[in-house]
Amino acid sequence: QLNQKHMINLVLFGKPGAGKGTQAEFLKEKYNLKHISTGDVFRFNIKNGTDLGTLAKSYIDKGDLVPDEVTIKMLQEEVEKNPDADGFIFDGFPRTAAQAEALDNFLESKDMKINATIALEANDEVLLERLLERGKVSGRSDDQDIAKIRNRFDEYNVKTTPVKEFYESQDKFYTVDGIGTLAEITERLTKVIEDLE
Ligand code: AP5
């Protein structure tokens, strides 16, 4: 049964291309956590042609956020699919203040909580370059052109920035320099995690 006693639940935060997914892969091994990437779940549904995928695609292709009700429900289902997890890494969620509140309420109902939200920081020019580079090989529809990537940054600035304040007000917000080698960044994240109570 899920409960907070020995759990560690982290939110990996940051703009598109900040390295959330990349670092989550290392951290999930190190701390034996279940990694939930809402972007990955949407892409899985798009690939499999589900109703959720069809709906999500219409937003993702433009670089817009998928509506909160849909995303929140999906996230809750992903958590409930993993009742034996030692903890979770939430990657790409929450992305709006409403999602952050819904996550808090949902976790509280399960006697769980977020221990820390860690933001990976990098400037837009670095991020843009990373995403355009990845778009060449991954075929991700939202990495293909500069206008879509800029729209994702705009969505972040308008809708996601309030999430930072949400966690700051709970003293759970940490920032890490997201530029450097993958190992250096993992080390920075690890330091934040090990320093948590
Ligand atoms: P999502 O899949 O979450 O995309 P994103 O936030 O735009 O994040 P990315 O996956 O692009 O970046 P990342 O920070 O994980 O970086 P990564 O490690 O991949 O969301 C996609 C879409 O789904 C959204 O636009 C929205 O439509 C929808 N969606 C998802 N969640 C939602 C939500 N909660 N609410 C509403 N809608 C939602 O790295 C990027 C690249 O950089 C890689 O190629 C990597 O190899 C490279 N890289 C990583 N680290 C480094 C480094 N240190 N040095 C050099 N290169 C590096």
The residue annotated as part of the active site, out of 34, 57, 140, 172, is 140
CATH architecture of 10-190: 3-Layer(aba) Sandwich (3.40)
- For residue 124, the model assigns a pLDDT of 97
Token reading at 115: 């221990």
CA-closest candidate to residue 2, choices 109, 99, 117: 109
Report how far ligand 1's centroid is from the alpha carbon of 17 (Å): 5
DSSP classification of residue 65: P
- For residue 141, the model assigns a pLDDT of 87
| 173 pLDDT above the threshold of 70 | yes
| 176 pLDDT above the threshold of 70 | yes
- 152: annotated active-site residue: yes
Nearest-CA residue for ligand 1 atom 56 is 130
pTM, entire model = 0.96
Model confidence pLDDT, tens digit, residues 97-137: 999 999 999 999 999 999 999 999 999 999 999 999 999 89
Average pLDDT score over the chain: 95
Cα–Cα dist 167/172, whole Å: 5
Confidence of residue 16 (pLDDT cuts 50, 70, 90): very high
Q: Cα separations (Å) of 32 from 8, 35, 140?
A: 10, 9, 28
| 1 pLDDT above the threshold of 60 | no
Q: Cα separations (Å) of 118 from 31, 160, 171, 176?
A: 15, 14, 11, 7
Cα–Cα dist 65/55, whole Å: 11
Binding-site residue numbers for AMP are 38, 43, 64-66, 92-95, 99, 140, 152
Instruction: Annotate 90-113 with b (16+ C-beta within 10 A) or e (fewer).
Output: bbbbbbbbbbbebbbeebeeeebe
CA-closest candidate to residue 24, choices 196, 197, 194, 189: 189
Cα–Cα dist 167/40, whole Å: 24
Ranges of each domain in the chain = 10-190
| 160 pLDDT above the threshold of 80 | yes
Q: Cα separations (Å) of 54 from 18, 48, 49, 61, 157?
A: 26, 9, 6, 11, 26
- For residue 3, the model assigns a pLDDT of 64
Q: Could you tell which of 13, 36, 42 is best to mutate to test the pocket of ligand 1, judged by most ligand atoms within 8 Å of the CB?
A: 42
35 lines ligand 1 (CB under 6 A): no
Confidence of residue 172 (pLDDT cuts 50, 70, 90): very high
Token reading at 129: 């370059």
Confidence of residue 139 (pLDDT cuts 50, 70, 90): confident
196 lines ligand 1 (CB under 6 A): no
Cα–Cα dist 58/10, whole Å: 29
* CB-based contact 10:172 (threshold 8 Å): no
